[in-house]
Amino acid sequence: MQLDFVARELTIKLVYYGPALSGKTTNLQSLHRLTTDASRGRLMTLETRDDRTLFFDLLPLAFKADGDLSLRIKLFTVPGQVIHASTRRLVLQGADGVAFIGDSQLTETDNNRASFLDLRQNLKDNGLDLRKMPLVIQFNKRDLPNIRGDEEIAQLAEHGREPVYKAVATRGDGVLETFLGLVTLTWARLDAEHDFSNKFRVKSENFVASLAKQLGVTTDPQGLIAAAVGRDPRTRREAT
Ligand SMILES: Nc1nc2c(ncn2[C@@H]2O[C@H](COP(=O)(O)OP(=O)(O)OP(=O)(O)O)[C@@H](O)[C@H]2O)c(=O)[nH]1
Ligand SMILES: [Mg+2]
């Protein structure tokens, strides 16, 4: 998080993390497609010929809140391939929130798990604690055969503390849901810590709804956020 109090400008960093080929870059591409020109900057990607992210992707978004606050969101993806471990750690530096993009295919279960452990370790190496990090989980590629079933995901969601979204990122399904769920958690966390809604006279109740509207989202944002399986991001997480 970066705060320019004089300019009333807050910049937050959100990171899409997950195993290789789970669809992190695709999420940003879909988000870019689903938002309006006025609210977003250029999507920067750096890939090899076969679509593998080499360093990171970055999508900048901008939002003017009701009160006195301009919010900039820098949305990053990490490169999922195992060899890019040090790059992932670098991209995670100063993250305010994380979306973990998992691959629903049964064959990817071990890779998802390894990537999740890698996330926890890399956060730790950056002095960040996974348990305190605003985090949503996405199970992507729901259109493919041989995927983890809805019931299994519902069970996982019930036992975990994070909101879980199902997605087909190529079609844009679940993409706004995941993003808005993450923004909801991240704003709640930053607001609780720094009292931004008072300092900037921002109405927290309709913060995410008005952000969604400015981004050009035409669907009811509350409905999108509520698509989470398991925990609803709008409810407070009990202290653990
Ligand atoms: N069928 C299907 N394919 C998808 C979906 N989302 C992404 N893909 C495909 O999966 C491949 C990898 O997607 P990327 O978005 O590049 O994956 P990534 O997570 O950025 O991969 P790395 O950069 O290597 O970490 C591409 O061919 C995408 O088109 C989905 O929901 N369904
Ligand atoms: Mg990528």
As a whole-number percent, the residues of the chain with pLDDT over 70 amount to 98
For ligand 2, the distance from its centroid to the CA atom of residue 46, given in whole angstroms, is 8
Atom of ligand 1 nearest to the CA of 77: 20
pLDDT tens, 153-208?
999 999 999 999 999 999 999 999 999 999 999 999 999 999 999 999 998 888 99
Q: How many folded domains does the chain comprise?
A: 1
Mutate to test the pocket of ligand 1, among 17, 45, 49, 51 (most ligand atoms within 8 A of CB): 51
In a domain, 122, yes or no: yes
In a domain, 92, yes or no: yes
pLDDT tens, 62-114?
999 988 899 999 999 999 999 999 999 999 999 999 999 999 999 999 999 99
For ligand 1, the distance from its centroid to the CA atom of residue 27, given in whole angstroms, is 8
Instruction: Assign 238 a pLDDT band (cuts: 50, 70, 90).
Output: low
DSSP assignment of 220-239: -HHHHHTT-EES-TTSPPPP
Other CB atoms within 10 A of residue 203 CB? 12
Instruction: Assign 14 a pLDDT band (cuts: 50, 70, 90).
Output: very high
In a domain, 236, yes or no: no
Atom of ligand 1 nearest to the CA of 47: 23
The set of protein residues with a Cβ atom below 6 angstroms from ligand 1 is 18, 20-26, 51-53, 77, 79-81, 140-141, 143-144, 168-170
The mean pLDDT value of the chain amounts to 94
For ligand 2, the distance from its centroid to the CA atom of residue 199, given in whole angstroms, is 37
Atom of ligand 1 nearest to the CA of 168: 31
For ligand 1, the distance from its centroid to the CA atom of residue 26, given in whole angstroms, is 6
Query: Has residue 236 got a pLDDT over 80?
Result: no
**Which own/partner pairs from 200-207 qualify as long-range (CB within 8 Å, at least 24 positions apart)?**
200/8, 200/10, 200/65, 200/67, 200/68, 200/69, 201/66, 201/67, 201/68, 202/65, 202/66, 202/67, 202/68, 202/69, 203/66, 203/67, 206/66, 207/65, 207/66
How high is the pLDDT of residue 176? 97
For ligand 2, the distance from its centroid to the CA atom of residue 23, given in whole angstroms, is 7
C-alpha dihedral (130, 128, 122, 104), degrees to nearest 10: 30
In a domain, 235, yes or no: no
Query: Has residue 53 got a pLDDT over 60?
Result: yes
Q: Are 176 and 209 in contact (CB under 8 A)?
A: no
Cα distances from 92 to residues 19, 87, 129, 151, in angstroms, run 15, 9, 12, 32
In a domain, 39, yes or no: yes
**CA gap 17, 180 in Å, rounded:** 16
Mutate to test the pocket of ligand 1, among 140, 170, 171 (most ligand atoms within 8 A of CB): 170
How high is the pLDDT of residue 49? 72
In a domain, 181, yes or no: yes
In a domain, 240, yes or no: no
**CA gap 32, 87 in Å, rounded:** 23
Q: Tell me which residue range forms the domain holding 149.
A: 2-230
Instruction: Assign 237 a pLDDT band (cuts: 50, 70, 90).
Output: low
In a domain, 66, yes or no: yes
Average pLDDT over residues 124-144: 97
C-alpha dihedral (18, 112, 162, 42), degrees to nearest 10: 20
Query: Has residue 240 got a pLDDT over 50?
Result: no
Instruction: Assign 229 a pLDDT band (cuts: 50, 70, 90).
Output: very high
Could you tell me the CATH number of the domain that includes residue 20? 3.40.50.300
Atom of ligand 1 nearest to the CA of 29: 15
